[in-house]
Amino acid sequence: MIIINRQNIIKNRQIEKVLKLLGGDYRPARLVVYETRLDVFRFFFKCFNLSREELSGKLEGTYHQATDSVYVFVYAQTDDGDDLHSKQLYSLHAMSHELRHRYQYVKGLFTKDEDEEKSESDADRFATNFINNNSAKIKKIMGWSDEWTVEEED
């Protein structure tokens, strides 16, 4: 797996350890972490990924089936300002959510157009449960002094 990441928010070794918790079915060919909008341009020739929707900051992540790539947009995580741990936590949640979409694709789940809402709901629930159920392990991986949890948004 190729990781493209400036490593100011999350280190590649931390990503690898979280991926290990998830298991092999969640491991994409490429994982890209965009810390800033500038990174979208900076990494363009490494992954040829650019869209208005992704630049807008409205997406926290996306999974591209054709390239088996997960993209995480840290700059879209604005709920808690510049708090590093919060950015890390919600970026891990977005990454887990998108990796769940990869799992769904690999396993042939939610393949019909009308299943999109079910797919999103499953990915949200999975990511929240994964982060919360592994909070002690994630705390250790990330070097946090406290465990953090994610609350599901309605």
Domains of the chain are 2-142 (3.30.2010)
Instruction: Give the pLDDT confidence of 65-81 residue by residue, as tens digits.
Output: 999 999 998 877 666 65
Token pair in block for residue 32: 């890209």
* Residues with pLDDT less than 70, the chain: 48-57, 77-82, 152-154
Instruction: Give the pLDDT confidence of 89-99 residue by residue, as tens digits.
Output: 999 999 999 99
Q: 130: Cβ–Cβ under 8 A, 6 or more apart, which residues?
A: 21, 22, 96
Quote the pLDDT of residue 100: 97
Q: How far apart are the first and last CA of the chain?
A: 33
Q: 110: Cβ–Cβ under 8 A, 6 or more apart, which residues?
A: 104, 116, 118, 119, 122
Enter the pTM of the model: 0.90
